[in-house]
Chain A
């Protein structure tokens, strides 16, 4: 199929349509509204379910109910809206029903603004809702990747009876890029052996996140953890650029990952042996791959559009054996390639020590700048 010039939000929506999504429930919020708008047109046109709920709370509970029937269900929102949905997400996780969510992150905390940010990494990757559960979190850096990840997200969710969250940000949602849409899959009503779609002629099933008997709840929690082990073993995704002969590496995901690519190219043009390691699955995180890569590097630079949330994970994974610098911009401010390039040059001076925390050094450094 030929490439089309597609806006991120619309590309994600259409990828879900083509993956055979049966139902969409949502509530508008910038910068993801075009996703909902596209579904408002496409879903009724194709005879599928679309509801603009009265609020994010309504939407996520409609998602919950529809997912219990075995339907392929999608919802989408942006940071403050996702915060409202977290109770429902925890219930969905506790009930073990597959759901695909899209979070187009914006500046925060609070109402914040509508500019691109990555400050919900911890909220999404490390749970957010209550209880022990692990969503699968995928972070696209360009529109083709957003399409491909969304298209396969439903199979992934169903395979593990898990929540899959596509974690994007305002710039990916709003930008346009040529990309190829996949073929339309037939829309079918799946009838998995756990689903509650009407019990006529068979024994009644029951879906809930309630386990009043603690040992029974513990058993469910063990099941979640064992399943997570399986997901960690099978579903890691990441991309590397210029890593073959690299002595330094930038670690960045999503939009900051693609911006870092520009910086890495510019630094390469100056003869600096630097590469880029871009985690695509943030959960499961490419832990082994990052650890093995870091062993070979003189130092790392972690770049994020937040105050160093993934940085903490990178420090844990590398056990602080490799010197790390951090560079972050916050509140909807996007780092420019030149800023990252300057930080790469900083690495080559070879005077980074992990005796102080990278975040402390970054804060001191930004204090001088601002």
Chain B
């Protein structure tokens, strides 16, 4: 088993942290995992992405050109990665930030109004958790419970009051399940 996941969006959307959360969850499941960020001269508001590879054997390349799944948190990320998702892969799209149709077929497209759900929950910073919930509900890689456990164990102590909200956001996202078309 090997799954490659690219999470992409604006800096500040929690792209790197969601990837790390996946990596922690995979590590706690005794799987091999690599996390690698784009680390160009970037800043808040610029684009950011990270690649997470999860496998049951020693991982070769930590970078991929055809990922099993992509979370596109904004329009530039969708434009960049839509065509790269592997056939039968998963494309999770933050519908709140996208003003166009999805062109790809042969993959599972999961359209999630991430910003709206996060705002309903009362905190826009939850968007990344909503989308990561949607990812795990559609990609056979890790149980949602592993993600919840990782969040409890690796969310910085000062943010622990936000735990219930994060868990709720993951659940809300996980309700979005679609089929390959």
Say whether, besides A3-B27, A176-B20, A176-B23, A259 and B63 are in contact (CB < 8 Å): yes
Which of the candidate stretches A80-88, A132-140, A330-338 sits at the interface with the other chain? A330-338
Q: How far is the CA of A176 from the CA of B32 in the complex (A)?
A: 11
Task: Establish whether residues B64 and A337, one from each chain, have CB atoms under 8 Å apart when the complex forms.
Answer: yes
Max chain A C-beta neighbours (<10 A), residue from B24, B27, B37, B41: B27
Which of the candidate stretches B54-62, B72-80, B111-119, B125-133 sits at the interface with the other chain? B54-62
Task: Establish whether residues B36 and A5, one from each chain, have CB atoms under 8 Å apart when the complex forms.
Answer: no
57-93 of chain A: CB within 8 A of chain B = none
211-268 of chain A: CB within 8 A of chain B = 258-265
Within 8 Å CB of A5, what residues of B?
20, 23-24, 27, 33, 35
Within 8 Å CB of A30, what residues of B?
39
Task: Establish whether residues B33 and A178, one from each chain, have CB atoms under 8 Å apart when the complex forms.
Answer: yes
> Contacting A31 at CB < 8 Å: which of B24, B34, B39, B60?
B39
Residue A171 interfacial (CB < 8 Å): yes
Max chain A C-beta neighbours (<10 A), residue from B35, B63, B64, B66: B63
Residue B45 interfacial (CB < 8 Å): no
> Contacting B63 at CB < 8 Å: which of A171, A177, A263?
A171
Task: Establish whether residues A174 and B39, one from each chain, have CB atoms under 8 Å apart when the complex forms.
Answer: yes
Task: Establish whether residues A259 and B34, one from each chain, have CB atoms under 8 Å apart when the complex forms.
Answer: no
28-50 of chain A: CB within 8 A of chain B = 30-31
Chain A: minimal CB distance from B59 (Å):
8
Q: How far is the CA of A336 from the CA of B60 in the complex (A)?
A: 11
152-180 of chain A: CB within 8 A of chain B = 170-171, 174-178
Say whether, besides A5-B35, A31-B39, A175-B35, A258 and B64 are in contact (CB < 8 Å): no
Residue A114 interfacial (CB < 8 Å): yes
Task: Establish whether residues A177 and B60, one from each chain, have CB atoms under 8 Å apart when the complex forms.
Answer: no
- When C-beta atoms are compared, the residue in chain A nearest to B34 turns out to be A177
B side interface size, CB within 8 A: 22
Within 8 Å CB of B156, what residues of A?
none
Residue B122 interfacial (CB < 8 Å): no
Chain A: minimal CB distance from B130 (Å):
23
Q: How far is the CA of A259 from the CA of B35 in the complex (A)?
A: 14
Within 8 Å CB of B39, what residues of A?
30-31, 114, 170, 174
- When C-beta atoms are compared, the residue in chain B nearest to A7 turns out to be B35
Residue B145 interfacial (CB < 8 Å): no
Q: How far is the CA of A276 from the CA of B157 in the complex (A)?
A: 44
177-218 of chain A: CB within 8 A of chain B = 177-178
14-28 of chain B: CB within 8 A of chain A = 20, 23-24, 27
Bitwise interface map of A from 333 to 361 toward B, beta carbon under 8 Å scored 1, else 0? 01011100000000000000000000000
Within 8 Å CB of A142, what residues of B?
58-59
- When C-beta atoms are compared, the residue in chain A nearest to B58 turns out to be A261
Chain B: minimal CB distance from A357 (Å):
28
Task: Establish whether residues B35 and A171, one from each chain, have CB atoms under 8 Å apart when the complex forms.
Answer: no
Q: How far is the CA of A258 from the CA of B55 in the complex (A)?
A: 14
Say whether, besides A31-B39, A114-B40, A336 and B64 are in contact (CB < 8 Å): yes
Bitwise interface map of A from 1 to 15 toward B, beta carbon under 8 Å scored 1, else 0? 001010000000000
The 6 residue pairs across chains A and B that have the minimum distance between CB atoms? A262-B60, A261-B60, A175-B36, A259-B61, A176-B35, A262-B61
30 residue pairs A–B, Cβ–Cβ below 8 Å: A5-B23, A5-B27, A5-B33, A114-B39, A114-B40, A142-B59, A171-B36, A171-B62, A171-B63, A174-B36, A174-B39, A175-B62, A176-B20, A176-B23, A177-B34, A177-B59, A177-B62, A178-B32, A178-B33, A258-B60, A259-B60, A261-B60, A261-B61, A262-B60, A263-B60, A263-B61, A336-B63, A336-B65, A337-B60, A338-B66
B residues at A contact (CB < 8 Å)? 20, 23-24, 27, 32-37, 39-41, 58-66
